[in-house]
Amino acid sequence: MSTQTISTQPIAGQKPGTSGLRKKVGVFQEPHYLENFVQSIFDALGDVKGKTLALGGDGRYHNRAAVQVILKMAAANGVGKVMVGQGGILSTPGTSCVIRKHKLSGGIILSASHNPGGPDGDFGIKYNIDNGGPAPEKVTDAIYARSGTITQYLISDAADYDIDTIGTGTLDGMTVEVIDPVADYSELMQQLFDFAAIKQWLASGHRIRYDALSAVGGPYGKHIFEDLLGTPEGSVVNGEPLEDFGGHHPDPNPVYATDLIAHLDAANAPDLGAASDGDADRNMIVGHKLVVTPSDSLAIIAAHATLAPGYKQGISGIARSMPTSQAADVVARALGVPCFETPTGWKFFGNLLDAGKATLCGEESYGTGSNHIREKDGIWAILYWLNILAVTGKSVNQIVTEHWAKYGRHFYSRHDYEGVDTDAANKLMDELRTKLPQLVGTQLAHRKVKLADDFAYHDPVDGSTTQKQGVRIIFEDGARLIYRLSGTGTEGATLRVYLESYEADAARHATPTQEALADLITTSRDLARIAPLTGRTEPTVVT
């Protein structure tokens, strides 16, 4: 066995997006593509010699092959030890948990998250730092810069390592420990939530349906819900991680998780429906004929936070991404804690969590989490809801409608225009930005514009500033219209339009969402000239 030094040259476009580098599988399979990026990570980190890293992924197509390449490159670069999930499996929250618990230097996660998998699907890779969270922009910028100057990478010519057998061994001088992907994570969950109360609630006849969408959440859900909490077999569906996610689009939203929605719409519906995404960091919570918006879920968890043992001391603050609705802000005000508004991307929560300024975080894109790790966490969110249901004895629908009655309802919807021509999308955003100064004080959608800007974030912990994080138009009555381009797509551009309006009157809380937002929807299309510029008269996905 020996280290091979392979000559290479920079490959254009290796710039990490909202969450790591995501491309079509075929791109990752091109010669040197994965290797260049992995070497760029090692080079950007500086000295990885003797360090310990975590490694795993969501099990999608190319996961196992990529794990072998990374193990051999880690060995050649002098990494001391890699803790790899059995079979190459580790959820994103699971990896964050392993990094924190074992005080590792960081970890490499192989996932394109909610993007479809399989040979024609997407693949992705991201680096998490020693706090367990996504690498901050200064690190991803350094990785990208390195990918533009790289001339060689190092790789061991050792044989493939057996990643299916739990235990410790060596690969070309580097220690490899194959770990149970679920063990550390499930131990942490048992510290945070009232498993006894949930178990009793389930034993008294309540039922759940957790749809893992044939992605990495399956083994976690099976162990936690079925083995530890005693839900009957079959409560976890699509529980085997498959390389193509069994053809499922692994995005837990009402548009893609249709089977779950149908079960929760049925007359004999389970008491809670839930789903998670490819790497199990996103979640969707469903009641009877009711999908809880992620923004409401964050607010509701915050309002009930102290019901879970791990949070009984209360929360220090809440953080939400800018496009997420202001439902959490209202709860934060009532609790007397701050609510921080960050750009889209979980990495922006890291500093607030590390500094103890926020305990709970959430994003409209079906992401909820807390300071227990440094990633959003699908199973955690489901357990929080189970804990709330078990302790209050109320149904999902009751919890939601009572919450609206107390705090008011933030009607909320996201309209995605996917696969739009990139130049057209950039032109649309540029045009909008030029219009902003003239909008303040004008009437739009029967409302007066109070503020119109391109969101800039000033990190209160490290003082850094991040510009151009989304065009927002805020009205005097608190309604908002937000536009941004997705940073996770792999084909053309995806324009996201976020729509929100507040309704205090409980008599109007049952209005269908799209109806409540109708005037904002029309305005969103006219103002940004969506049809003339993109040729699209309707969004591709509405959630």
Question: Interface residues with ligand G16 (CB under 6 A)?
Answer: 18-19, 113-114, 277, 281-282, 321, 344-346, 363, 365, 367, 486-488, 496
Q: Which is nearer to ligand G16, 72 or 282 (CB)?
A: 282
CA dihedral 440, 444, 446, 451 (to 10 degrees): -30
Q: What are phi and psi of 91, to 5 degrees?
A: -70, 165
Q: Which is nearer to ligand G16, 480 or 496 (CB)?
A: 496
Q: Which is nearer to ligand G16, 487 or 492 (CB)?
A: 487
Q: Which is nearer to ligand G16, 87 or 489 (CB)?
A: 489
Cα angle 10, 16, 17; round to 5: 140
Please count the helices (runs of H) and the strands (runs of E) in the chain. 18, 27
Instruction: Give me the amino acid identity at 429.
Output: M
Q: Which is nearer to ligand G16, 58 or 271 (CB)?
A: 58
In whole angstroms, the minimum distance from the beta carbon of 261 to ligand G16 comes to: 20
- For the chain, how long is the longest CA-to-CA vector? 73
Q: Which is nearer to ligand G16, 277 or 377 (CB)?
A: 277
In whole angstroms, the minimum distance from the beta carbon of 487 to ligand G16 comes to: 3
In whole angstroms, the minimum distance from the beta carbon of 284 to ligand G16 comes to: 12
Q: What are phi and psi of 521, to 5 degrees?
A: -65, -50
Q: What is the DSSP string of 358-421?
A: -SEEEETTTEEEETTSSS--HHHHHHHHHHHHHHH---HHHHHHHHHHHH-EEEEEEEEEEEE-
108-124 in b/e form (b: 16+ CB < 10 A) is bbbbbbbbbbbeebbbb
* Integer CA distances (angstroms), 132 to 94, 95, 244, in order: 10, 7, 27
In whole angstroms, the minimum distance from the beta carbon of 505 to ligand G16 comes to: 31
Q: Which is nearer to ligand G16, 76 or 213 (CB)?
A: 213
Q: Which is nearer to ligand G16, 222 or 374 (CB)?
A: 374
For helices 396-407 and 378-392, give the axis angle rounded to 10 degrees.
90
End-to-end CA distance of the chain: 52
Other beta carbons within 10 Å of 182: 23
Measured in residues, the chain has a length of 543
Q: Which is nearer to ligand G16, 365 or 401 (CB)?
A: 365
In whole angstroms, the minimum distance from the beta carbon of 538 to ligand G16 comes to: 19
In whole angstroms, the minimum distance from the beta carbon of 312 to ligand G16 comes to: 28
| Cα–Cα distance for residue pair 173/77, rounded to 1 Å | 11
| Cα–Cα distance for residue pair 97/163, rounded to 1 Å | 20
Instruction: Give me the amino acid identity at 237.
Output: V
Q: What are phi and psi of 8, to 5 degrees?
A: -145, 180
Q: Which of 467, 91, 67, 82 is nearest to 276 (CA)?
A: 91
In whole angstroms, the minimum distance from the beta carbon of 197 to ligand G16 comes to: 30
| Cα–Cα distance for residue pair 379/418, rounded to 1 Å | 28
Exactly one of 40, 105, 113, 295 is catalytic; which is it? 113
In whole angstroms, the minimum distance from the beta carbon of 16 to ligand G16 comes to: 11
Q: Which of 37, 85, 82 is nearest to 59 (CA)?
A: 85
The answer to whether the CB of 150 falls within 8 A of the CB of 10 is yes
In whole angstroms, the minimum distance from the beta carbon of 83 to ligand G16 comes to: 21
Q: Which residue has the tokens 């800039």?
A: 456
**Residue 113 annotated in active site:** yes
Q: Which is nearer to ligand G16, 51 or 114 (CB)?
A: 114
In whole angstroms, the minimum distance from the beta carbon of 380 to ligand G16 comes to: 14
Q: Which residue has the tokens 């759940």?
A: 208
Q: Which of 348, 338, 350, 345 is nearest to 364 (CA)?
A: 345
Q: Catalytic residue positions?
A: 113
